[in-house]
Amino acid sequence: MGNEIMDKVKQLTELLNDYAYHYYVLDQPKVSDAEYDQLLNKLKMLENEYPEYKQKDSPTERIGGVPLEQFTKVQHTIPMLSLSNAFNEEDLRDFDRRVRQGLGHEPSYSCELKIDGLAVTLKYENGEFVQGATRGDGTVGEDITNNLKTIPSIPLRLRQPVTIEVRGEAFMPKRSFLRLNEEKEKNGEALFANPRNAAAGSLRQLDPKIAAKRSLDIFIYSVGNVEGHELSSHHAALGFVKELGFKTNEEHKHCKNIEEVIAFCNSWLDRRADLPYEIDGIVIKVDALKDQQVLGFTAKSPRWATAFKFPAEEVVTTLLDIELSVGRTGVVTPTAILEPVSVAGTTVQRASLHNEDLIREKDIKLGDKVTIKKAGDIIPEVVNVLVDHRTGEERDFAMPTECPECNSELIRIDGEVALRCVNPKCPAQIREGLIHFVSRNAMNIDGLGERVITQLFEHELVQDVADLYKLERNELLNLERMGEKSVDNLLKAIFSSKENSLEKLLFGLGIRHVGAKAAKTLAQHFETIDRIQQATTEELEAINEIGHKMADSIVSYFEQPEVMELIQELKELGVNTDYKGPKPVSEQESNSFFAGKTVVLTGTMEQMTRGDAKTEIEARGGSVTGSVSSKTDLLIAGEKAGSKLKKAQDLGILIWDEERFIEEMNK
């Protein structure tokens, strides 16, 4: 009897999975919805009565399991890098020129639609789905396996027992997006701005049952790695994953040259609105995998791929008002409040105005009809005013003379266009400073987002960053939408942040002109916050990357009595103030090509700034000078290199182009 039941469960599982594959992947239904549901209910009954016979790839897994307490982190075996961008035909031809220069021959390309969703990676062992994760920062993502199992087009078991990792774009079809927002509107809930946000929000729900209701889909676009199979090209890889049962996008093309690529990109400019899902461009990849290996990667993106981004969409709407906000450095920024309008798939109600000078330059008045544009993730901006549409009822706008938050007098520092509140007790600056302190690049305290910080501030539980380390459980439980589990996780994250290396704390303090990179440079050089506090302007300026303005700002910051008190308080609360990271590689220790060498940079670099290149060389034990001489060991020549290149050639000095330099960086 037992074997009969087990066989029946297996047969139903295989049959239903085959029906689902034909319905969701091939779009070729084999049976009616009613017949499928009837068989699924039969399987559920058997699984409930005989749970020991339930298969790992059972279609009932699509319903969603037990909610998680939190997502766990996943280290990607192969980084999920972002793509460089191309915005026009000239950019595409430049990309092709760099590729041909790197390969020494003309390649063919694979072009596919750039789906506007959430990049994910899927791992299978012997054909069984074992893990799915978000892209995250490209190196570390979040495990969302249970949520991904609810997407019907993701196979729980492959059609061959292959061990493979694939990457894809999970998305919400337009129809599902509209239905979801209609439900939210009926329930009086905030609407999703666009399908991409809806997809990302659905897959980052701790309760998989919510994701299961959102009707998500996926297209697989690449193979990370695969055991036992040799793939020669990208388009062959797409064919291979399709054979395994994955859903791929049919709107892709193998192009012989860049002219065919450009024609393919242009062909979608007007057709994209007809698709049942959102796209925001075209992805172009060198097709031959051996060519991809030759070209390699920069620190941020593959050299063998780029994304053609569609031109920014411009629309007309009404500027209703101008709202002012005060940032953590006291800068008062005007923002246009607009009559809601859809731009590039997003409902826009706000747009950047930058500063008072821009408002005057564009002659912007309240009530004006304005053109706004938004490209990709760029903040919408006001392009111009439609003066001919004015009715005479428009009103002039004048920036205030007092801070909108604390009523202190606003000043304009010489050489700056921004108005600034210089009151250190300004509540807006304190609140924004706290939000910055807990952000990812600073102390990275999970659970302390803008909403929670605002609540803490409004309830007078925090006045400075030290107060975050004094928060008590009972205080947090009284806040809105803060349950016991959330509070426990938050306190744990706050406690863990005490162990952060010094550069995180330095950046979090929000010292003017000190970004994340400069904070790390300071931490590496001085190793303790005490030594930084004692450093003179001259000592600071002697460090590469630290200019006079930054040095002066650092000294002025640490001279303030309230800052001295804050640092002492943080120490007493157990916050680490020492550098814990790796020390810069010394010339003697470095095995790099650059150790002990004198390098000159000239011309325009495309893949990094000359400042970044200087940092990379110095970190490997080299030194960078501004002029070519007989003591120069290497000249790195970017585009439009001039007299320095000629002098290096005359002196017989080793010369590299940018591609060769990047290649050395990646060793």
Alpha helices in 367-420 (DSSP H): none
- With contact defined as beta carbons under 8 Å apart, do 23 and 39 qualify? no
Tell me phi and psi for residue 200, to 5 degrees.
Answer: -65, -40
Residues 315 and 322 sit within 8 Å (Cβ to Cβ): no
Angle among Cα 382, 384, 390 to the nearest 5 degrees reads 115
**Structure token pair of residue 656:** 């590299």
Distances in Å between the alpha carbon of 662 and those of 16, 104, 404, 616, 666? Answer: 51, 17, 48, 10, 6
How far CA 337 is from CA of 313, 383, 400, in Å, comes to 19, 14, 17
Q: What residues pair up with 141 in beta bridges, in sequence order?
A: 74
CA distance 177 to 196: 9
Say how far apart CA 508 and CA 448 lie, in whole Å: 14
- 3-state secondary structure (DSSP) of residue 347: strand
List the one residue out of 114, 117, 118, 147 whose CA is nearest residue 132: 147
**CB-CB contact of 217 with 207 (8 Å):** no
- Residue 305: CB atoms within 10 Å: 22
Packing angle of the helix pair 89-103, 658-665 (nearest 10 deg)? 70
Nearest alpha-carbon partner for 571 in 529, 533, 535, 531: 529
What is the secondary structure of 565-591 as a DSSP string?
Answer: HHHHHHHHTT---B--SPPPPPTTT--
- Residue 477 identity (one-letter amino acid): L
Tell me the sheet residues that pair with 315: 372
Q: In the annotation, is 114 catalytic?
A: yes
Contact in structure between 528 and 486 (CB atoms under 8 Å): no
Residue 280: phi and psi, rounded to 5, are -125, 20
Residue type, 538: E
What span, in angstroms and rounded, lies between the C-alpha atoms of 170 and 157?
Answer: 18
* Sign of CA pseudo-dihedral 200, 205, 206, 210: negative
Which amino acid is it at 77?
T
112 within 8 A of 249, measured Cβ to Cβ:
yes
The whole-angstrom separation of Cα 564 and Cα 578 is 16
Pairwise CA distance, residues 248 & 242, whole Å? 6
Tell me the C-alpha distance between 34 and 8, whole Å. Answer: 20
Cα(16)–Cα(517) distance, integer angstroms? 54
List alpha helices for 498-592, DSSP H: 502-508, 516-526, 529-534, 537-541, 548-559, 561-572
Q: Which of 54, 73, 114, 580 is catalytic?
A: 114
Task: Return the active site residues.
Answer: 114
